[in-house]
Structure 1
Amino acid sequence: MNNFTYEKLHNNLQYLKLNTIEELLDNCLEIAARDSKTTMEVLDYLFEQEKKHREAAAIERRMKSAGFPVKKMLEEFDFEFQSSINKKVIEDLATLRFVHNAENIVLLGPPGVGKSHLAIALGIEAVKAGISVHFTNTGNLIERLKIANREGILEKKIRDLMKFKVLIIDEIGYLPFDDEGAHCLFQLISRRYEKSSTILTSNKSYGEWGEIFKDHVIAAALLDRILHHCTTINIKGESYRLKERKKQGIKTGLIRHNSTEILEN
């Protein structure tokens, strides 16, 4: 290969933004010459590396856009500790059929039982599959919607949120809504109904949602849309945080006991 052809090849790779191929090309050509690799093998390897790099970069962009507060994976979830959860149901949800069918997921249970962990983990599975995801805390979401409503741009804000195939709304029920907040959330859920998937977590049973919204009519209408195509996961186990505190308590107790013995001796 003469210098002109070599420079032209690199320039074309840069122009086409095939940056990974351009970076690997020289070393790959040296290895190919040494090991007698065919042109087809060289091209296959280079384009495969370009593809992997672009896929990884795309996942990173979607992860950043999703706004997950922490990274939680399904394989990290302790199904033995939370025995009330049917692992097969979660594995089926991880196939992401619910996204393609525009179905919802609601995770119910007391604080600390892993609702947010599962919601984030399913969201990450969706991100890895090339699906757009957005995570938000309920309080933050309601505040953003209310500000948009007062500025006359609620419709625009809802359209922005409609761009995400999966919307995760965490911690419904920790704080009650005022009338404006309930109205805004109802508008959002109504627009997403049978179009996109929503994952919600709540520490309140469905029967208590009227108290959250301070309006049983709106709560019933909202639940009607959420539950029409929905999988409910009701977690009845113990809090992970309480479990860890108990462990720490036991360790602390042992340390104090041993210290007392040393002092007495």
Structure 2
Amino acid sequence: MDRAAVEDLMTLSFMNDAANIVFIGPNGVGKSTLARNVAHQALICGHTVLFRTASEMLGELAALDSDAALRRRLHHYAAADVLAIDSCAVLRDVESPGCKPCFAQRAARATQHK
């Protein structure tokens, strides 16, 4: 892991541009721990944070029974200054119907922070 890159992440400068950060690597190298540390740093600095696993998020979204409920849930996700989604490997199949709300969420967050 690149120490300088980690130290840069911990400054939270990516938040100024509403940039997405993605940790990619094999199991057991510390991606989840790094995401938690960035989220913790954001909390210390007074930001709001929402941490979910991708399976939790997809389960929440799949359980919704109306477009209005989906919009409210997406707004809930977008309201956090930092939204950390762990175990995104389940999102590999972008054509999967269950993944579409997550990509809609990403678009909503990008629009909200501009």
Instruction: Give the TM-score taking structure 1 as reference length.
Output: 0.39
Equivalent residue in structure 2 for 1:189, among 86, 106, 110: 106
Gaps of 5+ in 2: none
Structure-to-structure mapping, 1:238-257, within 5 angstroms? none
Aligned residues: 111
Q: Does 116-125 or 151-160 show the bigger shift?
A: 151-160
Distance 1:174 1:111 in 2: 14
8 Å CA contact 2:49–2:81 kept in 1: the answer is: yes
The equivalences for 1:1-265 within 5 A come to 85-148=1-64, 150-152=65-67, 153-174=69-90, 179-193=96-110, 195-196=112-113
Match of 1:241 in 2: none
After superposition, the CA RMSD in angstroms is 1.8
Q: Deviations over 1:185-241 (max 9, x none)?
A: 111111012545xxxxxxxxxxxxxxxxxxxxxxxxxxxxxxxxxxxxxxxxxxxxx
Structure with bigger gyration radius: 1
Secondary structure in structure 2 of the residue aligned to 1:179: coil
Q: Secondary structure at the match of 1:113?
A: coil
| CA shift for structure 1 position 134 | 0.5
Letter in 2 for 1:151: S
CA distance in 2: counterparts of 1:101 and 1:129, whole angstroms = 17
Please report how far the alpha carbon of residue 124 of structure 1 lies from its aligned counterpart in structure 2 after TM superposition.
0.2
Kindly report structure 1 stretches of 4+ aligned residues shifted beyond 6 Å: none
Superposition deviation, residue 100 in structure 1:
2.1
**Structure having greater relative contact order (Cα 8 Å, sep ≥ 6):** 2
Q: Is the 8 A contact 1:103 1:194 kept in 2?
A: no
CA drift of 1:151 comes to 3.0
Opposite residue 43 of structure 2, the aligned amino acid is V
